[in-house]
Amino acid sequence: MSLVPIILLVAAVLVCAYAEDGMLTDPQAQANLWYVIFEIVSAYGNVGLSLGVPGQVYSLSGAMSSTGKAVMIAMMWLGKHRGLPSAKDEVVDFGWDRYLVACRFYDDEVAGSDASVAGDQQATHTDDALV
């Protein structure tokens, strides 16, 4: 596992904590550092969850400054383009072996059915010639 995503997440938390210091220290906002961590991890995972601002009808990201919003956008972009675990998950297998075998099987089936259709057409034409 690479340490780059972890380092980026920690850096994002630090930048957002510094940029949103006014919101985090405001006793009226009732938000703390865990809210920011949750928002960043949710953005990195492209989950779309938000804890929201207590007492308001919008998400915590909407209450952030421009710097915080830029960090959230960057985390969403990085999360969207992160590497997929092809070595650990059989569902995300990008090997073309199974695909090629399936294509060859399909091509053989189609070629076989075309040959039988062509044979049926020849037999029909021969029968027409005899009539």
Residues 72-95 have a mean pLDDT of 71
49 or 113: whose pLDDT is higher? 49
Q: How many CB atoms lie within 10 A of CB 43?
A: 25
For residues 34 and 14, state if they share a domain.
yes
Shared domain check, 8 and 51: yes
**Picking from 23-32, 38-47, 56-65, 110-119, which range would have the lowest pLDDT averaged per residue?**
110-119
Reported as a single tens digit per residue, the pLDDT across 13-41 is 899 888 888 877 777 767 788 888 898 99
Pair (70, 32) in one structural domain: yes
Tell the residue number behind the tokens 């210091």, with chain if given: 21
Same domain, 112 and 99: yes
- Contact status, residue 41 vs residue 9, Cβ threshold 8 Å: yes
- This prediction has a pTM of 0.58
Range of the domain at 23: 4-80
Cα–Cα–Cα angle for 78, 33, 35, rounded to 5 degrees? 70
Q: In terms of domains, do 42 and 102 share one?
A: no
Please give the Cα distance from 40 to 59 (Å, whole number): 12
64 to 14, 35, 45, 68, 127: CA distances (angstroms): 14, 12, 19, 5, 82
Domain end, chosen from 80, 97, 118, is at: 80
Q: DSSP character for 94?
A: -
Whether 72 and 130 share a structural domain: no
